[in-house]
Amino acid sequence: MKIQFCGAARTVTGSSHLIILNDGYKILLDCGLFQGQDAYNDENNLKFLFQPEEINCLVLSHAHIDHAGRIPKLVKEGFRGKIICTSATKDLSEIMLADSAHIQEKDTQYENKKRKKRGLGLVNPLYTVNDAQHALKQFFSIKYEEWYPIREGVEVLFRDNGHILGSGSVTLKIKEDERIIRVGFTGDIGRPNRPILKDPKQMGDVDVLLCESTYGGRLHEAFPDDLNHFYDVIKSTCIDRKGKIIIPAFSIGRTQEIVYMLDKLHHEKNLDRIPVYVDSPLSTNATAIYKNHPECFDEEISEHLKSDPNPFGFNNLQYITEVEESKQLNFQEGPAIIISASGMAEAGRIVHHISNNIENEKNTILMVGYCAKGTLGARIREGEKEIKLFGEVKQVKAHIELMDSFSAHGDQKEMLDFLDNLNRNDLKKIYLVHGDYEDGQLPFKKCLEEKLFQQVLIPEKGQTETI
């Protein structure tokens, strides 16, 4: 058997790895979008390293776009096999892929307007909303912890890795030439002790492992008391100063964690007079999907559900999908909490909310996650005093607060803990994927070698290895 690394090789996006059995049967692990530049313009996204019609089956670790975002293109170009994933991944993929297609249609329309004026050739979106809907028909969900036979001699198992709703590590048991080879793929490794989701569950023994390495070179800061920190920000902003808190948050995962914390605070403290808005159609839809998948919940929220059947809703919380209602928030007086996407504040409704509120010293912009260099979120985090928004220079007078404990990715130590049970004699090779080469993969390789793992390799994109 061979493995070809087709994406997320020495980088963090575009997750895609191809397993080619000796008889030619092809299993693709993930089919993610390369992010960071316009999708329609990125050679990495435009060309697959294989013929889509030759792929027999796709196994999907979770619904994040850097893992699932090229599925509609794969189907459009001839892939006819099953897309195997968990039930929650299937539901989340439906809204994520539709959203991704919508963004691509809008981006290319805008680009083509400019191109027409300049007499240049037009570009096509990577795929359309229609293509995304079409691809959904091939999704096929299986349960966690149950071996599913893909074909004779090949079985697959998902195990909850606590990263996002429905995410799982993947283990393949492949019988070939009278030997059984166990291939593991960690997917994205989550974190223990986070609200809502179960802690990551360690994998069983494997012979070869494809392992993520996003935070292979860093440790997350520990925040022992999120809830109190959050309450302090609410008290000083909304109660003492009568101001607004603006929170840029990713639609899936982060938004639900924040809403759940607010739900708990709402029950514990009297926050009745502070209206809360989740202003994002994708977040609204994702929250509905969270509610439908209690099988992914940890004990703490399951217990909470007994006294509060809706942990993502309370009296003064309103989900907003319509643009007009979103605009109305600009005119609202008094304290409020507005949670909106995107998480790095580089696009979406959040940019308008920041623009409308950043010059008022009563308000707080609460940053709850990593922001890539150059994004508006990163500039706010770095404490810039002047920011240009919609062509206008704005003075940053609002308070800036950081809460960094919301990462969905395990850090170096958490990933090492996740892998620590694996039998070093059985596991011949670890291939590091999904990480920055210098900052994530090289330091993580060193740690794994210190932990006595046999061979740790960092493949390049397109590289093929014989197992």
Amino acid at 392: E
DSSP string, 131-196: HHHHHHTTEEEE-TT--EEEETTEEEEEEE-SSSTT-EEEEEEEEETTEEEEEEE--S---TT-SS
End-to-end Cα separation, the chain, in angstroms: 6
State which residue, 381 or 434, has the beta carbon closest to Zn ion.
Answer: 434
Q: CB under 5 A: which stretch of 19-27, 180-188, 281-289, 414-422 binds Zn ion? A: 180-188
State which residue, 188 or 207, has the beta carbon closest to Zn ion.
Answer: 188
Query: Does the footprint of Zn ion cover residue 194 (CB under 5 A)?
Result: no
Burial of 18 by CB count in 10 Å (0-12 exposed, 13-18 middle, 19+ buried)?
buried
Cα 166-171-172 angle, rounded to 5 deg: 125
Q: CB under 5 A: which stretch of 13-21, 106-114, 174-182, 183-191 binds Zn ion? A: 183-191
Residue 163 CB, shortest distance to Zn ion, in Å, is 6
Could you say which residues in the range 54-113 bind Zn ion, by CB under 5 A? Answer: 64
State which residue, 70 or 264, has the beta carbon closest to Zn ion.
Answer: 70
Query: Does the footprint of Zn ion cover residue 212 (CB under 5 A)?
Result: no
Among 94, 107, 188, 207, binds Zn ion (CB under 5 A): 188
Query: Does the footprint of Zn ion cover residue 198 (CB under 5 A)?
Result: no
Residue 463 CB, shortest distance to Zn ion, in Å, is 22
Q: Which residues contact 354 (CB under 8 A, 6 or more apart)?
A: 246, 248, 345, 365, 376, 380, 389
Q: CB under 5 A: which stretch of 185-193, 269-277, 429-437, 444-452 binds Zn ion? A: 185-193
State which residue, 165 or 261, has the beta carbon closest to Zn ion.
Answer: 165
Q: Which of 409, 407, 414 is nearest to 257 (CA)?
A: 407
Q: How far apart are CA 37 and CA 40, in angstroms?
A: 9
Residue 62 CB, shortest distance to Zn ion, in Å, is 6
State which residue, 188 or 257, has the beta carbon closest to Zn ion.
Answer: 188
Q: What are the Cα distances from residue 437, in Å, to 15, 156, 369, 417, 425? A: 15, 29, 22, 21, 26
State which residue, 368 or 398, has the beta carbon closest to Zn ion.
Answer: 368
Residue 146 CB, shortest distance to Zn ion, in Å, is 23
Query: Does the footprint of Zn ion cover residue 254 (CB under 5 A)?
Result: no
Q: Which of 217, 224, 265 is nearest to 440 (CA)?
A: 217
State which residue, 60 or 101, has the beta carbon closest to Zn ion.
Answer: 60
Query: Does the footprint of Zn ion cover residue 30 (CB under 5 A)?
Result: no
Residue 213 CB, shortest distance to Zn ion, in Å, is 13
Q: Strand 464-466 to strand 2-7: parallel, antiparallel, or no bridges (unpaired)?
A: antiparallel
Q: CB under 5 A: which stretch of 186-194, 313-321, 383-391, 428-436 binds Zn ion? A: 186-194
Q: What are the Cα distances from residue 406, in Å, to 191, 200, 246, 355, 440? A: 10, 15, 16, 24, 19
State which residue, 107 or 188, has the beta carbon closest to Zn ion.
Answer: 188
Query: Does the footprint of Zn ion cover residue 155 (CB under 5 A)?
Result: no
Q: How far apart are CA 100 and CA 132, in angstroms?
A: 9
Site for Zn ion, rule CB under 5 A: 64, 188
